[in-house]
Chain A
Amino acid sequence: DADVTQTPRNRITKTGKRIMLECSQTKGHDRMYWYRQDPGLGLRLIYYSFDVKDINKGEISDGYSVSRQAQAKFSLSLESAIPNQTALYFCATSDSRGRETQYFGPGTRLLVL
């Protein structure tokens, strides 16, 4: 079974719609991250959370919000989706008690029409 899971794996939505991407992990890690990947731009950090009560903006947080519902769950919301948010989204986890190696989920491919 995958240690870091993301749902949905693929999503098509329309401009202006609100959508939520979910991430769950069974690794027992305290830190979780959301990234987006665009061709030619690499991965960029959207938000990260070092524990349940800690939420931090990353490099490109505008237009996104997050919720850390539990240590194992971290959700990313697009309040009003726009076409330039079309991208591949990844969730990742790391353990502050360890070497902080980041472990990635399989990704969610989002298309905003």
Chain B
Amino acid sequence: KQEVTQIPAALSVPEGENLVLNCSFTDSAIYNLQWFRQDPGKGLTSLLLIQSSQREQTSGRLNASLDKSSGRSTLYIAASQPGDSATYLCAVWYSSASKIIFGSGTRLSIRP
């Protein structure tokens, strides 16, 4: 069964710290993997998308990596700020089944 897991479910860190969010998937035959943030009561905002052939993508203070062989992706956030507080979701798209599976998310809180 294809599953996407995000651990921990919640994380609280002081402002300024660098942090890593984890996403693991059971089937390595992915098409792409996307990281999103969701603010309470709002829609999802795309952060980074990594194609199956890529190892990482960067945007500003964010860096996402992909290791298909181990079934893992990480989202690295540098110099965290209170405005980074949100729920972060990863989603894996499997082209063979035209299926997209979301993780349950990590709720991140940055303490001032």
Contact = CB atoms under 8 A, between A and B. Distances in A.
Interface of A: 33, 40-45, 48, 56, 58-59, 90, 92, 99-107
B43 interface: yes
Contacts, number: 47
Interface of B: 32, 34, 36, 41-46, 49, 51, 89, 91, 93, 98-100, 102-105
Contact of B42 (A40, A45, A106): A106
Given A56-B98, A99-B49, A101-B34, A42 B89 contact: yes
B104 A101 contact: no
Nearest to A58: B99
A42 B100 contact: no
Contact of A104 (B43, B51, B103, B105): B43
A78 to B, nearest CB: 20
A105 B104 contact: no
A102 B46 contact: yes
B55 to A, nearest CB: 15
Contacts of B103: 42
